[in-house]
């Protein structure tokens, strides 16, 4: 079956169902209207809140300087004006592609002509500290509200995991007057996303603000009676904690797709048109893995840029287009007064070039360019927004 719209599909009788009221889901819904979808659009979200920006959760929302209203992707009126039916606080139980239906947790079935999966990712859970007050994860607005309610009066925090989320949370809590220890299993912070020089820069930055960074730390226990009181590691060390935030990564939310028999490969498998192994089902955002011609491999990205751009391409193609997803990935992270801006994927680089100083106290910042076989593949920029824009265009 072709992904091009049939006469029925393009009529006002058609229905496109989007599972996941995320960055990708919200963008996809609005873009369907923009590109000519005349039928019904149903956007289903498991959370009770309107779709919101996730990056501020571990920064300004956790710090208390922004509220939910400040981070909404779009006001409710925008969905109404685009005739998008919002089904929030609604769980999907299963997808039945052979019948072109989904089943909701309350037993209701919903037919579709086209289906889009924007299910995102979920935090990796540690099999430790279950039921202890003060053991927190950070993925949703509800998670951050829980952390904010528990933070007052806390003096010592342990963050498990030194990726973007862990380090951003550590920076916020430090600025709120909490003594923070970061425990990272790898031998350096941000190991999955950047090179050694940037890892050392952010280690130095956090230590300069009083954060205790411990790498090579294998956490084996989150301890306490009713509330957490310490975290223990395999080498025998123990770290006192009034609150623990676990940020050891996420896994793509593929349960619905897998149970429906869709192809899974480090996420929901999509082609260059954001189409899954079922011609009437598309996927976009953190849950989707796609073929990247630039890096000659399949890629799954956890970024706002990817969610928005992929959703736009999926919407165009659901509406009968034939666009290919081929964009340069970029990311950012705010820690203390520093903004890291990254473009491209640096893993596999064989040469790097530094311009500037890796001293966190140097206001001039730096740029590191990453090369493979003489070709520029990625760059990290701190305090160099103009360089970031130029390199983004170049890559």
pLDDT-based confidence at residue 364 (cuts at 50, 70, 90): very high
Domains of the chain and CATH, by start: 15-122+251-318 (3.50.50.60), 125-248 (3.50.50.60), 337-394 (3.30.390.30)
Over residues 16-35, the mean pLDDT reads 97
Q: How many CA atoms lie within 13 A of 121 on its CB side?
A: 24
Helix (H) or strand (E) holding 208: helix 196-208
Give the whole-number percent of the chain exceeding pLDDT 70: 97
The Cα–Cα gap between 106 and 12 comes to 27
Tokens (6 digits) for 47: 């959370």
- What pLDDT was estimated at residue 77? 97
Q: Which of 128, 122, 247, 236 is nearest to 189 (CA)?
A: 247
- What pLDDT was estimated at residue 8? 38
- What pLDDT was estimated at residue 32? 98
Taking residue 69's Cβ as centre, other Cβ atoms within 10 Å add up to 9
- What pLDDT was estimated at residue 27? 98
**pLDDT higher than threshold 50 for residue 6:** no
The Cα–Cα gap between 322 and 320 comes to 7
Tokens (6 digits) for 119: 């299910």
The Cα–Cα gap between 74 and 235 comes to 48
Over residues 226-242, the mean pLDDT reads 97
Beta-ladder partners of 340: 333, 382
The Cα–Cα gap between 291 and 377 comes to 16
Placement of tokens 């981070």 in the chain: 71
User: pTM surpassing 0.75?
Assistant: yes
- Please list the alpha-helical segments (H only) found in the chain: 23-34, 60-63, 68-71, 76-81, 141-150, 164-175, 196-208, 255-259, 304-318, 385-394
């Amino acid at each position: 079956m072709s992904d091009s719209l049939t006469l029925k599909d393009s009529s006002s009788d058609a229905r496109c169902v989007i599972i996941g009221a995320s960055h990708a889901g919200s963008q996809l819904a609005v873009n369907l209207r923009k590109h000519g979808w005349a039928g019904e659009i149903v956007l289903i979200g498991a959370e009770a809140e309107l779709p919101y920006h996730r990056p501020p959760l571990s920064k300004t929302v956790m710090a208390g300087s922004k509220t939910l209203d400040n981070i909404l992707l779009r006001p409710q009126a925008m969905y109404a004006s685009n005739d998008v039916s919002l089904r929030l606080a609604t769980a999907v139980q299963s997808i039945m592609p052979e019948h072109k239906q989904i089943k909701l947790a309350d037993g209701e079935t919903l037919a579709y002509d086209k289906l889009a999966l924007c299910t995102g990712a979920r935090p990796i859970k540690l099999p430790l500290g279950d039921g202890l007050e003060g053991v927190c994860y950070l993925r949703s607005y509800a998670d951050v509200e829980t952390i904010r309610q528990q933070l007052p009066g806390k003096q010592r925090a342990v963050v498990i995991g030194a990726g973007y989320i862990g380090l951003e949370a550590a920076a916020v809590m430090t600025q709120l007057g909490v003594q923070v220890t970061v425990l990272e299993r790898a031998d350096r912070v941000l190991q999955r996303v950047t090179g050694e020089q940037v890892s050392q820069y952010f280690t130095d930055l956090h230590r300069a603000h009083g954060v205790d960074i411990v790498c090579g730390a294998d956490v084996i226990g989150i301890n306490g009676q009713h509330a957490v009181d310490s975290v223990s590691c395999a080498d025998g060390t123990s770290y006192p904690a009034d609150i623990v935030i676990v940020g050891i990564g996420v896994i793509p939310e593929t349960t619905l797709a897998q149970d429906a028999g869709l192809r899974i490969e480090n996420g929901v498998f999509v082609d260059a048109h954001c189409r899954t192994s079922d011609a009437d089902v598309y996927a976009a955002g953190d849950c989707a893995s796609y073929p990247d011609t630039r890096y000659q491999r399949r890629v799954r990205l956890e970024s706002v840029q990817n969610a928005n751009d992929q959703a736009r391409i999926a919407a165009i193609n659901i509406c009968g287009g034939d666009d290919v997803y081929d964009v340069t990935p970029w990311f950012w992270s705010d820690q203390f007064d520093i903004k890291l801006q990254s473009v491209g994927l640096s893993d596999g680089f064989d040469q790097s070039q530094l311009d500037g100083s890796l001293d966190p106290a140097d206001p001039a910042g730096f740029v590191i360019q990453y090369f493979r076989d003489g070709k520029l593949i990625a760059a990290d920029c701190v305090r160099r927004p103009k360089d970031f824009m130029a390199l983004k265009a170049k890559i």
